[in-house]
Structures are given as C-alpha cells and as structure tokens.
C-alpha cells in the first residue's frame, strides 16, 4: 500500500471510551426523537379524511424527483431564490451523503464485514467535494439571510391582511424567529465544520501524510494557514478541535432531532406534497364523497390527509401572497396565511395523543388558527396561488371546501344567495326566461341551427353573459357571423343550455353545480355534433375538466383556437391589417387553468396588431376579479377592485389603443374599470372577436 492509500481521517483519536459511548447515546437519542416526531406527524395526517390518489405511482415519483432536482418550481419568477436554494439543497445533500458515508464504514461495514473504503484517493476526492459543498451551503444561506435582513422583501413580511394590530396572530414573530434560527443553525454547522477541519490540520501538521494532502480540503487548508499565522500551536489546535468536535456534533444531532417539529421538515413534506400533487387541483374540484354526511369542511379532520400534508409543506415563501389579486387590492385574504392558520390549528389539535372534542376542532371563526368568512369570500379562485406555489400546495380546493360549509349554513352575501336561487330557478344568473337564451340570434340575417333538432359539426356552448348581457350580445352576434361567413356548420342548444356551473361550484354550491352539470350533459348528449366551442373560458374549463366526472366527456375548444384554425384553412381571410398598439389580458380560466396562451397572441399577430405585454401576463396574469362567484358579490365601497388595479397597469403602456380581452366577464369588468379609473377616451376595451370582425370585414367597424 502506498502512503497515499493510507490517508484517511481519524474520527475519535484521543477520545476517551466513555466519550465515544456518550456520543452514540446522544446520537441514538436524537434519531429516536426524530422517528417519534415522524410518527406524530404521520398520525396527524392519518386523522384527516381518506383519499385515493389517481395515476401511476412511478409517474408521480419521476415527476417529483425531476422537480426536486431541477428546482424548476422554486426558480420560477424568483431566480435569485431559486439559485440560492439550489446551492443550499445540493450543498446540504452532499454533506448529508458524506456524513452517511462515514457512518456506513465506521458503524456498519467495518465492524461487521471488515470493509474499509474511506481512505486513499476516495477519501481525498471525498474531502474536496465536501469542502465545495460547504461553500455552496454557506453561500446560499448568506443570500437567504440578505433577503430577510437587508432586502426586506414584502412577501417575507408575515403580517396578516385578515387580522388587525393587537390580534394575537397578526404579526406572528415566531415565524421570523424560526426562519432565522434555521438559517443560523445551518450556518453554524457549516462554519464550525471548516474551523474544525482547520484545527485538525494544525493539530496534525507534524504528520506528513496529513499535511501534504491538506489542499484536498482547500477551505480548511486556507483556514489552517491563517490559524498558524495567528500563532495557534498544535497542542492548542488539538484542544480546539476536541471542543469544536463536540459543539459541531451536538448541533448537527439537534438538527436531526428537530426536523419533524420545525421548518426543517419541509425537506420531506415539500417533496411529499410534490409527489401527491394533482395537476388539475384547481381546474377540477373534488366531488363530495357519498360517505360524507354534510358538504364542506367544518372541522380540521374533515380535510383529507393530503391537505393536512399540504399545510405542512408550505415554506412561507410568500409567492402566493404576492400573486393573490384579492390581497393586492386590500381584501382580507392571503393564501399563505390561510394555509399557515390551518397548519397552526392542525398542529395544536392533531399532534396530541388524544383528539379534542368536535367543537374544539372547528376551523371557521376568528380565533387563532381559524379562518374567517370574510377571508374565504374574498377569494377569486383565479388559481394564481396554486400555479406559483413551488411545493404544490393546493389552496383552492381547501378554500372551496370551506366555502361549501358556509353555503350549507347560508353564511354568505344576500346578493350571492339571491343569485344562486335565481340560477336554480331559471338556469342563468340574469333571471331571464330560458326561452330568451337564444333571443340574440333573431337579429341575425341568417338562422342559427338548433343542435337538438338537427345535426351540426360544431356545437356552440354560449354561456350566460354572452347570451343575456347586452354588451356581450353584440360580440356573440359578431362571432356567429364569423362562423357563418367561414362556412362552419354550427348550432346552439337554445333554451336547452343552462349556466355551465363553473363559478357556482367555486362559490361552494356543489348541489346546484351537479344539477346544472347533469342538465347540460343531458342536453349535449341529446344533440348531434362533432365538437364543442365556447366563447366563455369559465364554461370551457368546467366542460373540459369537470364534466367528465359526471359522464360528460366532450371535445371542446375555446373560440380563439377555432378562429386560428379557420384562418389557417383560408376560411377566414384578412381584408385589412390592423395597426393598433394593443395589450392582451389572459383570462384566468383560459390561461392559467388551461394553458391557452398562444392562440390569442397568434390571432393578434395575424391581424397586424402590435402587442405590448403587461408586466403580469400569461401564467402571471392578474385576475379581473369576477371569478369564484365574485362577480355576484359587491365589493366594499371605496375599495380598489382587481379590474381597476389591472386597468392602471395597462394605462402605463405608452400609446396603448386597445385593451384586448377574450372572455365575456372580462369585457364587463374591464369596461367598467376603464370608466372608474378615469381612462375612458385614452384607449378602449375590445373583445378579440371584434378585432377579427374588423380585420376580415371590408367595412370599418367604429371604435
């Protein structure tokens, strides 16, 4: 054996036998505390309602591993945090694997089988890799400290919009303390590891094998040189090494013991949350199980085990808090705080060995850990929170299931309750007779087919606003004309169509939703057609993603896709190019919900428009404020509306001429916001359908 082959690190040299035994006692105790903590957390999750996961387990594992290793969800819209977290993650993983490698030889392979590998070239490369891993870890941690201590990012402020100063859970300083304790603990472990390494090198400097190979631990070697220059003797270095060994080891063992009880557990819960994620969590809400006596969530144990896991997965990063349109306009809602409140409640109630009684498990209210009615009704269910969450927390199903309980109790705005009653009675939110649903077609110079009576190629599911709202009726007539001129064989259901139910379901009125869905599915099954088109993204989402659960699986597309196809086939032709300077608003239910980003932009390019994107666009688009039934709920007097916030963003675009939408509710919300923000006359709000009409018509359409 060459002298290099003999190089290794002595772990317990000059340690008394009693010390070594004491270390192992503490080590096993830390591991025992860790596993007990894991047991408590698993017991907590098992106290949630049962849930079976769909899909292939292997596909879930591969997707989770890909997300964790790539950090793609963490880096989205925050590259700094993504890069820093990669350094922390990979540095921590390498250091953990290094420690595990030492344990594998010293405690398992060597005593049981006489196998030794932690020496020679392997040991030298091992030392180099772990030195670099420590640099990565500390570098990432320092950046995270700077974010909290110097940058002071608003999304890392834990003050709650649903509480007021003086409330016991308004600022929650315990979260800031936990964040800093976690960062400092890892920093101390990393820094003391380097100092310990340097002290060991100085202590063993007279051993040629150790000193000649010291540069395989470059950071430790540099520190060793600095300590020698400062006058540290070998004997003193030995004493320093001995003390630091215990200090470093005890902190590392404390970290292991604390994992299940502190923020550190996100190492496991975040990965588990990604593993069980539902890619259609917001798009396809869950049905009420037949075994459930009452709809909705009243108690913490009414949540599923997966939702309880979601609560623990939250890392308090604030991205959902930052993206939420309700919070942006001052509503008492932060998706992050809903999750954290419920987590606090779950920990207090469910980590006990014996559950409290049902009354003490109630999650509705204003006590710490509970969620208020005002908070739940502030949500637009726009999916901004779910879409941006790096650890797959599914906020919307949690909020909607709590709303279901409020609906069951009648705890809602009187106007919303009246609207739901109107929809139940008439099948639409306008309270109009069913016979008037197709009345808009009477003004057309051609007949629109009744798809219930004669077969058509394309069945157009029109939707409430496009059928009954006067401003949207004009757009509906234009779209019908475009289809007619393109030679599309289309028809509608006339009075056979009801409200699609998308927003009714997101309000929490599951019973009414099922009535609407089943009525529409029955009407669609009675008609003869090849595919469905709709001008309403809300209807598009629920027919595409939720109707299949009720036996209604149909091929459906949004009108922007159909129009793009008609241009491609030459069935619609440009008469003139539009040279408007425009911006485009991505509807939540077309964009975030169903990834329909490209077709509208391709149409605008085809029409000759100059598209200027707003800062918040595509997946980061800002909600108009109508979703989740909020179009039926009055906003507080004097408060800013999401549509007004969005309109001010658009008004900052130099030379903007047209604010383009592709959703009936968007047209309603933004035309009103154009007036109330004082921007009327500066630019106009138009449906994309109107621009297409203008471009394919030889007659100019007045603005």
**Whole-angstrom Cα distance, residue 158 to residue 175?**
8
pLDDT, tens digit (0-9, with 9 covering 90-100), for 483-521:
999 999 999 999 999 999 999 999 999 999 999 999 999
Q: Map tokens 């993650």 to a residue.
A: 89
Q: What is the pLDDT of residues 228-250, one digit of tens each?
A: 999 999 999 999 999 999 999 99
To 5 degrees, how large is the angle CA 58–CA 61–CA 62?
A: 90
Interval 669-685 mean pLDDT: 97
Confidence of residue 33 (pLDDT cuts 50, 70, 90): very high
Name the residue range of residue 683's domain: 571-696
Do residues 402 and 469 both lie within one domain?
no
Q: What's the rounded Cα separation, in Å, for the pair 311 and 518?
A: 33
**In which element (H, E) is residue 346 found?**
helix 335-350
Element counts in the chain: helices (H) and strands (E): 29, 9
Look up the pTM and report it.
0.94
DSSP states along 112-162: HH----SSHHHHHHHHHHHHHHHHHHHHHHHHHHHIIIII--GGG----TT
Predicted confidence at residue 4, as pLDDT, reads: 67
Q: Using the structure block, give the residue that is written with the tokens 């027919």.
A: 543
282: closest CA among 553, 463, 541, 50? 541
CA 229 to CA 207: how far, in whole Å?
A: 19
Inside any domain, residue 467 = yes
Cα separation, 431 vs 612, in Å, equals 39
**Could you tell me if 257 and 317 lie in one domain?**
no
Domain assignment present for 322: yes
Confidence of residue 289 (pLDDT cuts 50, 70, 90): confident
Q: Are residues 465 and 316 in the same domain?
A: no
Q: Are residues 445 and 513 in the same domain?
A: yes
Closest CA to 688 of 498, 500, 475, 502: 475
Cβ 383 vs Cβ 594: under 8 Å: no
Question: Residues 233, 103: one domain?
Answer: yes
pLDDT, mean over the chain: 95
CATH of the domain at 676: 3.40.50
- Percentage of the chain lying above the pLDDT 70 cut: 98
Contact of 398 with 342, CB cutoff 8 Å: yes
**Domain count for the chain:** 4
Residue 193 shares a structural domain with residue 220: yes
Q: What is the pLDDT of residues 328-352, one digit of tens each?
A: 999 999 999 999 999 999 999 999 9
State how far the Cα of 560 lies from the Cα of 553, in Å rounded to an integer.
21
The tens digit of pLDDT for each residue in 519-566 reads 999 999 999 999 999 999 999 999 999 999 999 999 999 999 999 999
Q: Are residues 546 and 601 in the same domain?
A: no
Tokens of residue 397, six digits: 């199903």
Asked if the structure places residue 623 within a domain, the reply is: yes
Claim to verify: residue 560 and residue 575 sit in the same structural domain: no
Buried b (16+ CB within 10 A) or exposed e, 676-693: ebebeeebbbbbbbbbbb
- Radius of gyration over every alpha carbon of the chain, rounded to an integer in angstroms: 31
Residue 315 falls within a domain, yes or no?
A: yes
Find, among 93, 72, 73, 75, the residue nearest to 84 by Cα: 75
Categorize the per-residue pLDDT at 3 as very low, low, confident or very high, splitting at 50, 70 and 90.
Answer: low
With cut-offs at 50, 70 and 90, classify the pLDDT of residue 109.
confident
Residues 6+ apart with CB under 8 A from 368: 168, 169, 341, 344, 345
Torsion angle (degrees, nearest 10) of CA 503, 504, 507, 512: -160
Q: What mean pLDDT do residues 157-183 have?
A: 93
Minimum mean pLDDT range among 20-29, 193-202, 455-464, 694-703: 694-703
- Give the side-chain half-sphere CA count within 13 A for 96: 12
Range 619-630 average pLDDT:
97
60 vs 64, 254, 423, CA distance in Å? 6, 32, 39
Please choose, from the candidates 645, 643, 594, 591, the residue with its C-alpha nearest in 3D space to the C-alpha of residue 618: 591
Please report the pLDDT score of residue 120 as a whole number.
84
Give the angle 337-340-342 at the CA atoms, nearest 5°. Answer: 110
Domain co-membership, 550 together with 588: no
Please, which contacts does 246-254 make with residues 24 or more away whose CB atoms are closer than 8 Å? 247/192, 248/189, 248/192, 248/193, 248/196, 249/23, 250/26, 251/185, 251/188, 251/189, 251/192, 252/99, 252/189, 253/26, 253/27, 253/30, 254/30, 254/185
Give me the residue label for tokens 């939720």.
546
- Average pLDDT for residues 146-164, to the nearest whole number? 93
Over residues 295-307, mean pLDDT:
96
Whether 527 is covered by a domain: the verdict is: yes
Among residues 261, 296, 330, the one where a domain terminates is 261
320 neighbors 335 (Cβ within 8 angstroms) = yes
Cβ burial of 310 (10 Å; 0-12, 13-18, 19+) is buried
Q: Look at residue 645 in the predicted model and tell me its pLDDT.
A: 98
Cα 625 to Cα 642: distance, rounded to the nearest angstrom: 5
The secondary structure of the chain in percent helix, strand, coil, rounded to multiples of 5, reads 60, 5, 35
- Residue 371 gets which letter from DSSP? B
pLDDT exceeds cutoff 80 at 593: yes
Same structural domain, 170 and 301: no
Question: Cβ distance 555 to 466 under 8 Å?
Answer: no
Question: 5 falls in which pLDDT band (50, 70, 90)?
Answer: low
Same domain, 338 and 451: no
**pLDDT one-digit tens code per residue, 305-331:** 999 999 999 999 999 999 999 999 999
What is the C-alpha separation between 461 and 524, in angstroms, rounded? 9
Reported confidence tier of residue 595, pLDDT bands at 50, 70, 90: very high
645 and 517 both lie in a single domain: no
CATH of the domain at 337: 1.10.1060
Final residue before a domain boundary, out of 211, 230, 261: 261
Residue 420's nearest CA partner among 335, 516, 329 is: 516
350/69 Cα distance (integer angstroms): 32
Q: Is residue 44 part of a domain?
A: no
Could you tell me the end-to-end alpha-carbon distance of the chain, in angstroms, rounded to an integer? 89
Residue 53 lies in a domain: no
DSSP, res 450: E
**Is residue 45 helix, strand or coil?**
helix
Stretch 362-383: mean pLDDT, rounded? 96
pLDDT at 102: 86
Q: To the nearest 10°, the Cα dihedral for 651, 157, 586, 499?
A: -120
Contact call for residues 603 and 590 (beta carbons, < 8 A) = no
Q: Is 5 left (phi over 0), alpha (psi -120 to 50) or beta?
A: alpha
244 falls within a domain: yes
User: In the listed set 523, 546, 567, which residue is the last one of a domain according to the structure?
Assistant: 567
Phi, psi of 71 (to 5 degrees): 60, 25
Q: Return the bridge partners of 582, or none.
A: 611, 658
The vertex-63 CA angle with 61 and 64, nearest 5°, equals 65
Q: Quickly state the pLDDT bin for 702 (edges 50, 70, 90).
A: very low
Rounded to 5°, angle at Cα 337 from 673 and 371: 90
């Amino acid at each position: 054996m060459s002298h290099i082959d003999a190089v290794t690190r002595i772990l317990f040299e000059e340690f008394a036998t009693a010390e070594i035994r004491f270390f192992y006692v503490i080590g096993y105790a830390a591991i025992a505390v860790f596993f007990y903590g894991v047991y408590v957390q698993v017991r907590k999750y098992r106290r949630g309602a049962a849930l079976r996961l769909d899909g292939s387990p292997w596909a879930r594992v591969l997707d989770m591993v890909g997300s964790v290793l790539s950090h793609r969800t963490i880096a989205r819209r925050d590259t700094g945090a993504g890069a820093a977290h990669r350094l922390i993650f990979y540095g921590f993983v390498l250091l953990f694997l290094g420690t595990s490698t030492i344990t594998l030889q010293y405690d398992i392979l060597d005593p049981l089988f006489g196998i030794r590998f932690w020496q020679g070239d392997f040991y030298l490369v091992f030392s180099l890799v772990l030195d670099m891993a420590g640099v990565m870890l500390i570098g990432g941690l320092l950046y995270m400290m700077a974010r909290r201590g110097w940058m002071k990012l608003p999304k890392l402020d834990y003050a709650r919009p649903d509480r007021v100063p003086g409330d016991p859970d308004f600022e929650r300083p315990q979260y800031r303390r936990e964040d800093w304790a976690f960062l400092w603990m890892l920093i101390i472990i990393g820094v003391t590891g380097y100092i310990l390494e340097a002290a060991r090198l100085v202590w063993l400097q007279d051993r040629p094998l150790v000193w000649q190979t010291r540069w395989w631990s470059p950071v430790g070697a540099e520190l060793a040189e600095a300590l020698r220059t400062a006058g540290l003797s070998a004997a003193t270095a030995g004493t320093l090494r001995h003390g630091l060994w215990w200090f470093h080891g005890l902190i590392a063992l404390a970290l292991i013991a604390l994992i299940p009880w502190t923020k550190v557990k996100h190492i496991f819960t975040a990965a588990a949350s990604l593993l069980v994620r539902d890619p259609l969590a917001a798009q396809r809400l869950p049905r009420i199980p037949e075994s459930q006596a009452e709809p909705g969530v009243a108690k913490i144990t009414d949540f599923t085990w997966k939702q309880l896991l979601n609560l623990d997965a939250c890392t308090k990063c604030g991205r959902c808090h930052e993206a939420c349109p309700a919070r942006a306009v001052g509503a008492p809602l932060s998706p992050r705080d809903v999750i954290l409140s419920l987590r606090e409640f779950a920990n207090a109630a469910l980590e006990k060995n014996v559950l409290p009684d049902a009354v003490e498990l109630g999650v509705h209210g204003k006590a710490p850990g509970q969620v208020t009615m005002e908070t739940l009704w502030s949500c637009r269910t726009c999916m901004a929170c779910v879409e941006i969450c790096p650890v797959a927390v599914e906020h919307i199903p949690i909020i909607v299931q709590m709303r279901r309980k409020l609906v069951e109790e009648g705890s809602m705005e009187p106007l919303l309750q009246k609207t739901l009653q109107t929809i139940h009675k008439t099948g639409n939110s306008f309270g109009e007779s069913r016979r008037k649903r197709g009345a808009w077609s009477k003004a057309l110079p051609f007949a629109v087919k009744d798809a219930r009576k004669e077969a058509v190629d394309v069945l157009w599911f029109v939707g409430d606003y496009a059928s009954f709202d006067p401003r949207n009726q004009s757009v509906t007539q234009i779209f019908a004309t475009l289809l007619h001129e393109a030679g599309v064989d289309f028809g509608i259901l006339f009075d056979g169509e009801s409200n699609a139910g998308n927003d009714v379901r997101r309000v929490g009125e599951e019973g009414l939703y099922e009535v609407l869905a089943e009525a529409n599915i029955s009407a669609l099954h009675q008609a003869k057609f090849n595919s469905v088109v709709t001008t309403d993204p809300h209807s598009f989402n629920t027919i595409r993603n939720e109707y299949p659960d009720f036996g209604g699986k149909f091929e459906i597309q949004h009108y922007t896709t159909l129009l793009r196809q008609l241009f491609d086939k030459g069935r619609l032709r440009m008469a003139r190019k539009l040279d408007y300077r425009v911006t485009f608003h991505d509807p939540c239910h077309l964009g975030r919900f169903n990834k329909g980003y490209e077709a509208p932009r391709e149409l605008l390019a085809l029409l000759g428009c100059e598209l200027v994107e707003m800062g918040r666009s595509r997946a980061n688009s800002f909600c108009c404020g109508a979703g989740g039934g909020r179009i039926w709920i009055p906003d507080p007097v004097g408060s800013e509306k999401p549509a007004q916030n969005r309109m001010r963003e658009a008004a900052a675009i130099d030379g903007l001429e047209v604010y383009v939408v592709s959703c009936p509710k968007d047209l309603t919300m933004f035309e009103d916001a154009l007036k109330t923000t004082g921007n009327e006359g500066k630019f106009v709000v138009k449906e994309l359908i109107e621009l297409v009409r203008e471009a394919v018509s030889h007659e100019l359409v007045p603005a």
